[in-house]
Chains A and B, each alone.
Chain A
Amino acid sequence: MSKTHVTTTINGDVTEFLCEPADTLLSVLRNELQLTGTKEGCGSGDCGACSVTVNGRLVCSCLVLGVEAQGAEIGTIEGIESAEKLHTIQEKFLEHAALQCGICTPGLIVSTKALLDENPDPTEEEARYYLAGNLCRCTGYDKIIRAVLDSAKVMRGAA
């Protein structure tokens, strides 16, 4: 099968890759670009482990084709921290012990950032509703929600 040449921006860096028409953005990120922080939990758009942003919009990368990344701005977990400094959301996940096995964590952090970019001051209910697409099988979400609301508070203060 002939491969398609795609030029895109990932976490601010212009990136090129070759992919087959059926390859998902998730498999391109993980297998072509070695950005394995984005996880596959289901491959069917139901778990949020593969969450990334495309042009600022939160999507499941398992439901996006690699070729759709052409010309787009992609944001992944690897782009959340800056210059070796953890993002506030990451710090808060640590502080609140909002993780166990950690495999849902990158997706949750990407989703939390998307939430707070959209709505810097969510109510608890709004946060729970927004993050309902990110499944976590280990925690009971309580510490995650505490981390999210605490992040929002700190980020509002910092803004």
Chain B
Amino acid sequence: MDDITTSRPGVHESAVKHVTGRAQYIDDIPEWPDLLHVATGKADRAFAAILSMDLSAVRQSEGVIDVITTAEIPGDDDIGPVYKGDPLFARNEVQFHSQPLFAVAATSLRLARQACARAQIEYETFVPIVTIRQAMDAASFVLPEKSFVRGDAGVAISEAEFSLRGEQYVKGQEHFYLEGQVSLCVPDEDGGVLVYSSSQHPTEVQKLTASVLDMPMHKIQVEVRRMGGGFGGKESQAAALACTAALFALRTGRPVKYRMPRSDDMVQTGKRHDFWNRYHVGFNQRGEIQGVELDLAGMCGYSPDLSEGIVDRAMFHADNSYYYDSARITGYRCRTNTVSNTAFRGFGGPKGMIAAEAMLDDIATVLQIDPLDARKANLYQPGRNTTPYGQTIEQHVLPGLVDRLENSSDYRNRRRAIAQFNGSASHFKKGLALTPVKFGISFTAKHLNQAGSLVHIYADGSVQVNHGGTEMGQGLYTKMVVVAAQALGVHERRIKVTATRTDKVPNTSPTAASSGSDLNGMAVLDAAQQLVLRLNEFTAGHYGVPIAQVSILNDRVRVGDVTYPFEEIVKLAYLNRIHLSAAGFYKTPDIGFDFEHGTGRPFYYFANGAAASEVIVDTRTGEYRLSRVDILHDVGRSLNPAIDLGQIEGGFVQGMGWLTTEELSWDIDGRLLSNSPANYKIPTAYDVPEQFNIALYDEDNNEDTIYRSKAVGEPPLMLALSVWCALRDACASITDYKFRPAMNAPATSEEVYRCIQVARASMQ
């Protein structure tokens, strides 16, 4: 009757709650009457010594119950997620503008903020490092540089028929999750704390809270039901709020909420890194790349945070989808007096890929060929299939996928029509670009590639699923229902996925690196299979039939030729003392990387896609519109097409924001100028084209992933590189494609206008 398949467009498990306003985010939890609210005192220097800090007026301010500085921290005051370097509050030195110096707990948020303003602080101000170039000049790094080297790129470039150099400055990105950072902490009767956190990494929140409070992890419970968006911004950045609120909760014995108003969130939490990329490439007449030297310098901010892996991932993706015969790819991790930059969807990947895409466009310009042909000449294919870090591409999805998109988007005809249009006298010029994406799936830190789950079958036949992943809107819980239903052979209606909690599944990895469904899905599958085996063994014994004759399908248990309702068998099993709960576990096989030598197989597989974007630019102002987008994206065998299509659409538009209108800017004193949605523009419904065609490329994953699906969280973001390339293409059209001006990102109207001027100047 009910068709249970993995490919049924289902709705998000919380959708009805979302549309009625009943979905509860942390700030919606009813407030206790004695709840305290937290605000922090912020440094108004980017780099300074703190000479004195007088908080007496803060303490006396109306409504203030408690004030803490670094001196009040009982345990470790450093909450660095991987490396040390992130003090919860500044010690003697200020490292970035708006760094928290102290925190106040008061009876209302307004009173807490009012109190913070009363602090008297004396500084000795130093000259901050606020740009990548300053950091490179001063050799200011948070961690040492690394390189991937294959062959001798220098020789290959000098021996190549053609060579060129280029550089680009690629700005970072504010996450702008619509729900700001928030944590609510409730003290418990054992001197521990129950932490509600809007976090992608509950285990790390638990670990850091415990270490700040100087207590074992078992005294801290962290619960995450849902986030109002995460995008990487709540991987490491959520912990500071939980640690601060938990300390106040413990000191006052009262529940404490720390919710950052948007104005604090934008200046106090890390963002996507700025990158300064330089490339030197040698290639032949066919456009094939013979050697590449790439320098990728990321702006990490004042501390390492997750920057080691982020710059690694930029290096891992500096090839995007292209075969580099010899290569030297070097990543720098620049230390600046700015907020510590952090994970953001793509995790450095986009920053490496944009260098590759700029390079391919430059090659096409030199050879006077269509950029798509330059790209196709370099796509990984059998025989040219090893990445600069030694991993072999085993499943060649892209050549076929790109061909198909080329046809379905009518690329060649549109290219001709655009050439004709651009040849006319109009002030408007059109640009077109088709770019591929290949994105490696797995955490490059191997130990994170593990997951746990806990599945209960209750005596009434209802099922509860818990796992270590967190729900931030990406539909993970919904997919886990699909996995559990399929594995148990029961209807989705039986299954409820509950809030992620550290006391249900311990030692979890962050929900990041697009890994949520891959890892947790397999862990849920493992638990479900254990339960099915137990139930089938019991049923076979009970009815005296061979186990091969027992199966659970379509919500019923088949015993030979007879079927029974699932709940009837469950009840029987319970009465016969069968254990109806199972913990599942998974670790990704066949991965590993030798960081010392820069070779190995860091990724279990690759997710692929391609997008074709067309823009129209007003050359008098640099203003433009995106007029059409066609996307073909590889999600393996989709676990839920509606959700996957949503991820692709949303990822693309978020990437488009990063590359077009979203512009972070700091002044020379290290103050963030783009500090509110009024001066930092994320895309609106009006910025997205009416012609937005997205299709899934149906091809099973070669690897044994959960029902042969592929990860979809991050890869689509980089499809938006097609928009950036199309804008550059429109600028190049002014010179009849003889010259392609170097373009920085984001390509704001101002940047496009600048490129138009450069293009015009090139013709004189």
> Which A residues are closer than 8 A to B by beta carbons?
22, 30-31, 34-44, 46-47, 49, 76-78, 80-81, 86, 90, 93-94, 97, 99-106, 109, 124-125, 127-129, 131-145
Contact = CB atoms under 8 A, between A and B. Distances in A.
B227 A132 contact: no
Given A39-B178, A86-B19, A105-B18, A97 B11 contact: yes
Given A46-B678, A100-B473, A135-B677, A141 B643 contact: no
Interface stretch (B65-73, B441-449, B647-655): B647-655
Interface of B: 9, 11-12, 14-25, 27-28, 30-31, 110, 175-180, 226-229, 231, 261-263, 472-475, 642-643, 645-647, 649-654, 676-678, 682-686, 688, 690, 692, 694
A46 B178 CA distance: 11
20 contacts: A36-B24, A37-B20, A39-B179, A39-B228, A43-B263, A44-B262, A46-B676, A86-B16, A90-B20, A100-B473, A100-B647, A101-B227, A101-B472, A102-B226, A103-B25, A103-B473, A135-B684, A137-B682, A138-B229, A140-B654
Given A86-B20, A97-B12, A100-B650, 12 more contacts: A36-B28, A37-B20, A44-B678, A97-B642, A99-B473, A101-B178, A101-B179, A103-B178, A103-B228, A106-B19, A135-B176, A137-B175
A62 to B, nearest CB: 10
Contacts of B474: 100
Contacts of A132: 684-686
Contacts of B685: 127-128, 131-132, 134, 136, 141, 144-145
A140 B629 CA distance: 12
A101 B26 CA distance: 13
B670 to A, nearest CB: 23
A110 B703 CA distance: 45
B678 A143 contact: no
A103 B179 CA distance: 7
A49 B228 CA distance: 11
B586 to A, nearest CB: 25
A141 B653 contact: yes
A86 B11 CA distance: 15
A136 B647 CA distance: 13
B18 A102 contact: yes
B14 to A, nearest CB: 6
A134 B682 CA distance: 11
Contacts of B18: 93, 99, 102, 105-106
B649 A81 contact: no
A103 B178 CA distance: 7
Nearest to B653: A140
A106 B646 contact: no
A44 B11 CA distance: 32
A138 B678 CA distance: 19
A143 B653 CA distance: 12
Contacts of A144: 685
A93 B685 CA distance: 15
Contact of B650 (A22, A102, A109, A138): A138
Given A43-B261, A97-B643, A141 B676 contact: no
A101 B20 contact: no
Contact of B676 (A42, A94, A129): A42
B94 to A, nearest CB: 26
Contact of A102 (B23, B643, B647): B23
Contact of B19 (A44, A94, A100): A94
In the A-B complex, list the 10 residue pairs whose CB atoms are closest, starting with the nearest: A37-B21, A101-B473, A102-B18, A103-B228, A140-B653, A100-B473, A140-B649, A46-B677, A77-B21, A36-B28
Given A137-B177, A144-B685, A44 B676 contact: yes
Contacts of B30: 34
Given A44-B677, A128-B688, A142-B649, A102 B20 contact: no
Contacts of A41: 178-180, 262
Contacts of A77: 20-21
A30 B14 CA distance: 20
A142 B692 contact: yes
Contacts of B16: 86, 94
Contacts of B227: 101
A136 B27 CA distance: 18
Interface centre among B18, B645, B694 (most CB of A within 10 A): B18
Given A44-B676, A132-B686, A142-B688, A101 B31 contact: no
Given A47-B677, A128-B685, A37 B646 contact: no
A145 B72 CA distance: 51
B649 A143 contact: yes
